[in-house]
Chain A
Amino acid sequence: MSALRRLVLALAAPAAAVGFALVTSSLILLLIGSNPLVAYGDMLEHASKLETLVDILNRATPLYVSGIAVAIAFRMNLFNIGVEGQFLLAFLVAAHAGSLVSLPAALHIAFILVVAMSVGAAYAGAAGVLKVTRGVNEVISTIMLNAIAVSGLVAWLIKEWQAGGSIGTGTTTRVGTAPIDESGLLPDLNGVLELVTRDLRPGKELTGVLVLALVVGVVYHVLVNRTVFGFDLRASGFNPFAARVGGVPPKRMIILAMSISGAVAGLVGMAELMQSGYFPSNPIQGLGYAGIAVALLGRNHPVGIAFGALIFAFLDVSSGVLQFSGAAPREIVVIMQGVIILAAVVAYEMAHRARNREEARSAAAALHEARAEA
């Protein structure tokens, strides 16, 4: 089979999933009396604006990091449902710690990132430790740790660390942790973007964390697919017994995999922190859970996850315009996200079978040719 056909088959599945989601949501929209064409038209028109593209990338960045965090654990057959709690806690502690120190720019940023990753790693690692010492399933422990983080630790610590009154430059009222010095914030990418496009509307910033996210994607790929550690990780995921006699220490591997997943999860909140400089008292939620969907859609592949993150970000951002234009209820995008996930699972399986059939046919043809020649 040619490389081209292979590529077509690989792309056919996600394309079919998106197509199916479009058909389903069209039917729903028709059913409730909205015109799907108008709704999609509004979404696309909106998305073609430069400012909206920036919004989509800003949204896709944390989704991507979250997807990678989930994927790392997935490769070892571990389900890190706890990215949500890990990232919120890391976000908060990093924001607070970052506001307490003043350092030169590069060091300040590195310090904040290291704090965020350490907190995420420790919190996820706790689930790993529970698994190897007490046999607690990581799904259960991470869900419980989420609850503890979100409605316990974060709610309590934000009260402790909340800066009094309104803070910031004065244009808006912001309530949250004390602001981080300018030196701790990652510069935006507006300059780079404006080199190839026009100037952005004032107030729009393309997050510099996008670059960090890309680095995370590359490191993920190299670590999992190219290093011995990644081999051990995947081997444990495929067959823990065989991995064990193959020299992979199973307990250490579980704790390490969870910790690394958590360290990446710790970076999910950085897209916001590096821009705003503080942890808000009503933080954004759901990025951790969306990461599970994005990893699933991207089949744990670094490029696939990027596509998944972009699709989800596009739909998220579109929900705003739908509400604004009134063409359709904004909730339709949530339905679309759900349908895409379900359809993707089915479509991947179908593509897999199609590929097998195709290869079997070409094998048979080759055999007959060989026989005919003989």
Chain B
Amino acid sequence: MPYAIELTGITKRFPGVVANEQVSLAVEVGEIHAICGENGAGKSTLMKILYGMQPADEGAIRVFDKEVHLGSPTDAIAAGIGMVHQHFMLADQLTVLENVILGAEPTRSAGRIDFARARAHLREVGQAYGLTVDPDDRVETLEVGERQRVEIIKVLFRGARILILDEPTAVLVPQEVEELFRNLRGLKSAGTTIIFIDHKLDEVLEVADTITVLRQGRSVATVKPGDVTAPDLAELMIGSELPTAQTIGVTVTDEVALEVKGLTVVEEDGRVVVDDVSLRVRRGEVLGIAGVEGNGQAELIAAIIGTAAATAGTILFLGEDVTHATVRHRREAGIGYIPHDRHREGLLLQAPLWESAALGHQTRAPFAKGLFVDRAGARERTEWVRREFDVRTPSVEVATHALSGGNQQKLIVGRELAAEPAVLLAAHPTRGIDVGAQAAVWDDMRAARAAGLATLLVSADLDELIGLSDTIAVMMRGRLVAMLDPATLTARELGAHMTGAGVRGDSR
């Protein structure tokens, strides 16, 4: 088999870490090649090098049997390589067609955009690869899975024959994942080569033809999915067996920590995004919110933390009406928050790690002494979070952006749990975290629950929802449409409820 990509001896160093060390990777033409590894193993770095976003310190890159130098993504695209980033880069206000041609507009004379040709080409690409989108839909109206499809088409539109996807399934619900995998198989049969990063091992085993495992910057194994099991893979990744999850019985108390009554949020354009939602979370309870992303979960959380105004309804925190309280008041009173988008709302990427660890808690000990920042206390707490939550970083002084995605996520989870809130609003708390660390975070969340934490959990990971929640509410088009008991629920059933294809909810 000829190779689409051959990386040899790739080394990349960053201040205080060696992200890739003598990594070699060979990807055959027309295969689906998965890259696995712990958080910080160097997966994203390797892909960024392959896409020309970062130069390697050492090593050679061959694409379709030609040695290439990729100084920028433009070079990579010219060589036939396209990348879909974990954070989508679409313009919400534009249509699908406009987004796809953005930056690669076919033009007629005098620089006018040739929309007819673009439309025809888009249709061709869609048909050739079996990807369907409506070119005239506005991107903001699309669901996550559809947006991702637009990103993929955008890359193919530019003539990519090698497709790189960094954690494409992290934001998808299972039904969407299946759809994605169908599409990937379709692309493969059309001759496209695919490289993707994924932390969910059963997904990897399902769709990949070959799996390469990175550990601490080095490629430690290349295996075929038929030859290994998920535990084998995990062992290759972390070098030891997976810890088994601990189980704690029901810890729900009678004391209501968070009560939402008739909450309605109406956007400026008149859309009702949260529609008459009522819920209660008691101390020691985890209330899971299931739903396809974009059905009002984000707005519900925003209203409770205070960044979106409630149009109607009340929010009670430990009996106190906080419907109109400031964000700061709510946070100081003890509402913790794990945002769904860590880069946008969770971190100060340019600031040192210990400052990111203080964010949201900067007015209280150990981060503050009176009106002053307690720098020693803040560093000490950050060191503690780093130890307890296994945040891999050379030190707490490095800039936050220098951490790998999963390690940034661990920092946020650690920061929020360390503050011992009374209520935790957790949106996709383990998004991007590797299997080993995920089990550890789940344990931490269970322990906090046992200690009396009331958690409102939003997640696209159904195993997480079922495994952690005491009750699951299904949210659709802004409304809570069903209350389900996770003890008697399978992921399949839950998925069916979320897409509305499901049976009627057994309302409690």
Contact A247 B360 (CB under 8 A): yes
> A227 — which chain B residues lie within 8 A by C-beta?
371-373
> A247 — which chain B residues lie within 8 A by C-beta?
326-328, 331-332, 360, 362-363
Contact B349 A238 (CB under 8 A): yes
Contact B372 A363 (CB under 8 A): no
**With the chains together, A246 CA to B375 CA distance in Å?**
18
Instruction: Decide if B111 is an interface residue (CB 8 Å cutoff).
Output: no
Instruction: Decide if B17 is an interface residue (CB 8 Å cutoff).
Output: yes
Task: Out of A226, A241, A244, A363, name the residue touching B18 (CB < 8 Å).
Answer: A363
Contact B307 A244 (CB under 8 A): yes
Contact B347 A242 (CB under 8 A): yes
Instruction: Decide if A6 is an interface residue (CB 8 Å cutoff).
Output: no
> B344 — which chain A residues lie within 8 A by C-beta?
239, 241-242
Query: How many residues from B make CB contacts under 8 Å with A?
Result: 36
Within 8 A of A (CB), among B255-308: 305, 307
Instruction: Decide if B418 is an interface residue (CB 8 Å cutoff).
Output: no
* Interface segment out of the listed B27-35, B350-358, B436-444, B462-470: B350-358
Contact B13 A244 (CB under 8 A): no
**With the chains together, A238 CA to B359 CA distance in Å?**
12
From B17, B326, B355, B362, name the one whose CB has the most chain A CB atoms within 10 angstroms.
Answer: B362
Cβ-Cβ contact count across A and B, 8 Å cutoff: 94
Task: Out of A235, A244, A359, name the residue touching B327 (CB < 8 Å).
Answer: A244
Contact B363 A238 (CB under 8 A): no
| Chain B nearest Cβ from A3, distance in angstroms | 14
Within 8 A of B (CB), among A208-242: 225-232, 234-235, 238-239, 241-242
Contact B349 A228 (CB under 8 A): no
Instruction: Decide if B337 is an interface residue (CB 8 Å cutoff).
Output: yes
Interface flags for B385-401 (1: CB within 8 Å of A; 0: not) read 00000000010000000
Contact B349 A249 (CB under 8 A): no
Binding site for B on A (CB under 8 A): 225-232, 234-235, 238-239, 241-249, 356, 359-361, 363-364, 367
Q: Which 6 A-B pairs have the closest CB atoms?
A: A247-B328, A359-B15, A360-B13, A246-B360, A238-B348, A246-B359
Binding site for A on B (CB under 8 A): 13-18, 57, 305, 307, 326-328, 331-332, 337, 339, 344-351, 355, 358-360, 362-363, 368, 371-373, 375, 394
Q: Can you list 18 A-B pairs, Cβ within 8 angstroms, ordered by A?
A: A227-B371, A227-B372, A228-B373, A235-B362, A238-B348, A239-B349, A241-B345, A243-B359, A244-B327, A245-B327, A246-B331, A247-B326, A247-B331, A249-B327, A356-B14, A360-B16, A363-B14, A363-B15
A243-B348, A245-B307, A363-B14 are known contacts; what are 20 more A-B pairs with Cβ within 8 Å? A226-B375, A227-B373, A228-B372, A231-B358, A231-B373, A234-B348, A235-B348, A235-B359, A235-B362, A238-B348, A239-B349, A242-B347, A243-B359, A245-B339, A246-B331, A247-B328, A249-B326, A360-B13, A360-B14, A360-B15
